[in-house]
Chain A
Amino acid sequence: GAVVSQHPSWVICKSGTSVKIECRSLDFQATTMFWYRQFPKQSLMLMATSNEGSKATYEQGVEKDKFLINHASLTLSTLTVTSAHPEDSSFYICSAMRQSNTEAFFGQGTRLTVV
């Protein structure tokens, strides 16, 4: 099956620093990638939809200047958490959709801890 690789799987950073999370579709072209955030035992919340070559569409309540999303190619989307704070500590997961398919494939997720 299709593989979506998300890196890193976990990261610890200091408050005020920025962290970049990569989401790669390894064996297919993904025109659309989704970024989610999940607190422990809570729902996976969609943060933004990333389309290759265009600006990401952010969900209501998500600060686009804080969560920078870049989808520069059909196989790579990045999420940068800028000026991270402890309240940004969470689990972030991406999913990618095939170019001609509505099925989404998920990355393994990234556990971010801001100290």
Chain B
Amino acid sequence: DQQVKQNSPSLSVQEGRISILNCDYTNSMFDYFLWYKKYPAEGPTFLISISSIKDKNEDGRFTVFLNKSAKHLSLHIVPSQPGDSAVYFCAASLVGSNYKLTFGKGTLLTVNP
């Protein structure tokens, strides 16, 4: 049972345009969400997070939006750069789980020059 779903395995955008990565979850008890970026053969790197008490968090080119009623969050990257090409993982933390993270399977973003 996939509690955190990233339904798009891949996404391709042009440099300078906006990249929108989506993530859906099924467990309404999740209270903290994170996005990680990962290059091949490397460990993931933290990008941005959002608490369930917020609906938006922004950090430079990256913005995460949370829609609790729809159980949906998205990561916006604007403007997209070729160096953003990587796999992006969405992860969620469960209330009372001692920070146990449930990850999505990731979305491969390719930014074309």
Residues in chain A within 8 A of chain B (CB atoms): 1, 9-10, 34, 36, 38, 40-44, 46, 49, 91, 93, 95, 97, 102-104, 106, 108-109, 111
A22 to B102, CA, bound (A): 18
Chain A residues with Cβ below 8 Å from B97 are 9
- Contact between B38 and A9 (Cβ–Cβ < 8 Å)? no
Chain A residues with Cβ below 8 Å from B106 are 103
- Contact between A111 and B43 (Cβ–Cβ < 8 Å)? no
CB-CB contacts of B31-48 with A at 8 A, as 1s and 0s? 010001010110111100
Chain B residue nearest to A93 in the complex (CB): B101
Q: How far is the CB of B17 from chain A (nearest CB, A)?
A: 26
- Contact between A104 and B100 (Cβ–Cβ < 8 Å)? no
Give the contact-size bracket for chain B. Answer: 20 to 34
Q: How far is the CB of A2 from chain B (nearest CB, A)?
A: 10
Chain A residues with Cβ below 8 Å from B36 are 44
- Contact between A41 and B49 (Cβ–Cβ < 8 Å)? yes
Chain A residue nearest to B51 in the complex (CB): A41
- Contact between B101 and A1 (Cβ–Cβ < 8 Å)? no
20 A-B pairs within 8 Å (CB atoms) are namely: A9-B97, A9-B98, A9-B100, A10-B98, A34-B43, A38-B46, A38-B99, A40-B99, A41-B49, A43-B45, A43-B46, A44-B45, A44-B46, A91-B99, A93-B101, A103-B106, A106-B44, A106-B103, A111-B99, A111-B100
Q: How far is the CB of B84 from chain A (nearest CB, A)?
A: 17
Out of A91, A95, A109, which one reaches B43, CB within 8 Å?
A95
Chain B residues with Cβ below 8 Å from A103 are 87, 106
Listed residue (A1, A91, A104, A111) with the most chain B CB atoms within 10 angstroms of its CB:
A104
Chain B residues with Cβ below 8 Å from A10 are 98
Q: How far is the CB of B59 from chain A (nearest CB, A)?
A: 12
Lowest 6 CB-CB distances: which A-B pairs, in order?
Answer: A43-B46, A111-B98, A102-B40, A10-B98, A46-B43, A102-B41
A60 to B47, CA, bound (A): 21
A44-B36, A95-B44 as given contacts; A1 in contact with B100, CB under 8 Å? no
Chain B residues with Cβ below 8 Å from A111 are 98-100
